[in-house]
Amino acid sequence: MRLDKFVCKSTELTRMEAIQCIHSGEVFVNGEVATNEATQVHENNLVLLNGVKLKTRDFRYILMNKPAGTVCSNIDEVYPSLFNYLEVDKVSELHIAGRLDADTTGLVLITDDGRWSFNITLPTNDCRKIYRVKLSQAIPTELSQDLIAQFEKGLKLQGELGLTRPAKLEIITPKEVLLSITEGKFHQVKRMFSAVGNRVVGLHREQIGKVCLDLDVGQWRYLSKNEVESFNNN
Ligand code: URA
């Protein structure tokens, strides 16, 4: 990674402050002064700042129960950013593994480990996301099995060429279902129900992979080691 990023990830310095330290000759890499912030360094290089050895922070893995009316973005937009609820340093380094719409609630995974989030979002990794969906139209009992089969077979979404990947639909009541999907196209769940002539009026994500939501609205916690690792063996 770049030297300025390495310095940021191992101190409380901002990117600008890290660059200033590098330019003023305070940073040494493997015994030599390094004044170019773009210098590439590896975890096993000896990097000193004012004589103190730097070690990059461990990656962070966070679970949050997203409130309605927040956006999965690092900045406030029409709605406030979900990150306003997180009391951690360097929030700008974090991203969301599988964003939710502003009106969707529930389980969100947040990290600064890009490879890990790829395991979650890449459709071919088959990482299941389970949504509780409230519908405007009741599903007639006699059509339930047919609908389940349609979701399993794949649906043609408006504007898409192929079919959706096989999805598991479980009907809880005529107007409430659980939907399990392995991909996350833009407004995917809403568009899936639109494709079968229905409309989503409430959407809540309950589970991603083996990780279940166990927090109140707006709360967050770090994932356990087992939870983090569960996404490496999808
Ligand atoms: N599908 C949607 O339509 N919206 C979400 O927020 C998540 C999945």
Tokens of 54: 């730097």
CATH topology of domain 61-226: Pseudouridine synthase (3.30.2350)
Q: What is the DSSP string of 69-80?
A: T-BSSSS--SS-
Q: Residues 211-234: pLDDT tens digits?
A: 999 999 999 999 999 999 999 865
Tell me, in angstroms, the distance from the centre of ligand 1 to residue 88's CA: 26
CA distances to 43, 96, 170, 179 from 152, rounded to whole Å, are 45, 27, 11, 11
- Region of poorest pLDDT, from 92-96, 101-105, 147-151, 172-176: 92-96
Give residue 94's pLDDT: 95
Start-end ranges of CATH 3.30.2350.10 in the chain? 61-226
Q: Strand, coil or helix: what is 22? A: helix
Q: Residues 24-46: pLDDT tens digits?
A: 999 999 999 999 999 999 878 99
Among protein residues, the one with the nearest Cα to ligand 1's atom 2 is 187
> Which pTM does this prediction carry?
0.86
Angstrom distance (rounded) from CA 229 to CA 227: 5
**Superfamily of domain 3-53 in the CATH hierarchy:** RNA-binding S4 domain (3.10.290.10)
Question: Ligand 1, from 66, 82, 104: best to mutate by most atoms within 8 Å of Cβ?
Answer: 104
